[in-house]
A and B are shown apart, each in its own frame.
Chain A
């Protein structure tokens, strides 16, 4: 069973606030990912990391930033939240042996008012 955690699960916050979405995994996976999921369900890769001190931007441009100081932790930060950031954010990780398979956290549903 995958052990990947996201907090908070739900967040409602006002415009202009700084927020950090937490993602942690206990599987020792090197690769980690952040996806933004539309209300229409489509997934968009916004950030990924190959390991500690490695971060890359994904296919969809995002105003968020990420860091990877520890293998198990991959937080996502928005410096100034806007209503356009309202979405579901999913974190995932994959093992080094078979990087095809990704394990997902339960997601954070963010609403910016």
Chain B
């Protein structure tokens, strides 16, 4: 069946460090891929998405590229800030379906 596997956390980095959070997926057909972010005490919000192979989603300095050949959608940011501390969820979905499949989440903490 369809599934999402993401890097286990917690991940702790210093401010201005480079960030990569790995995400791989198993799916049939051509799903859309997402990164959602959950800040402390809040619900999830969409960070970025990509709807087809080789698309790059980007937002707030974060980027992820839909790699069909490696079934991956790794999240990257060149220089993290303390305000990026949150839980990040990789997810996939199909436009014909109503449900999204979420990964287990990766907690990111940034030290000043």
Contact A48 B105 (CB under 8 A): no
Query: B45: which A residues are within 8 A, CB to CB?
Result: 2, 103-104
Contact present for B104 and A42 (CB under 8 Å): yes
Chain B residues, CB < 8 A from A31 = 98
- Interface size counted on chain A using CB atoms at 8 A: 27
Query: B: which residues have CB within 8 A of A?
Result: 32, 34, 38, 41-46, 49, 51, 87, 89, 93-95, 97-100, 102, 104-105, 107
Q: Is the CB of B42 within 8 A of A106?
A: yes
* Chain B residue nearest in CB terms to A2: B45
Contact B43 A107 (CB under 8 A): yes
Shortest Cβ distance from B97 into A: residue: A99
8 A–B pairs (Cβ distance < 8 Å), ordered by A: A40-B104, A43-B89, A101-B46, A101-B49, A102-B44, A105-B43, A106-B43, A107-B42
0/1 interface trace, chain A 58-102, chain B, CB 8 Å (1 if under): 100000000000000000000000000000001110100011111
Is A13 among interface residues, defined by CB-CB distance under 8 A?
no
A112 touches B (CB below 8 Å) = no
Leading 8 A-B pairs by shortest Cβ distance: A104-B43, A41-B105, A100-B93, A104-B44, A42-B104, A100-B32, A43-B102, A106-B43
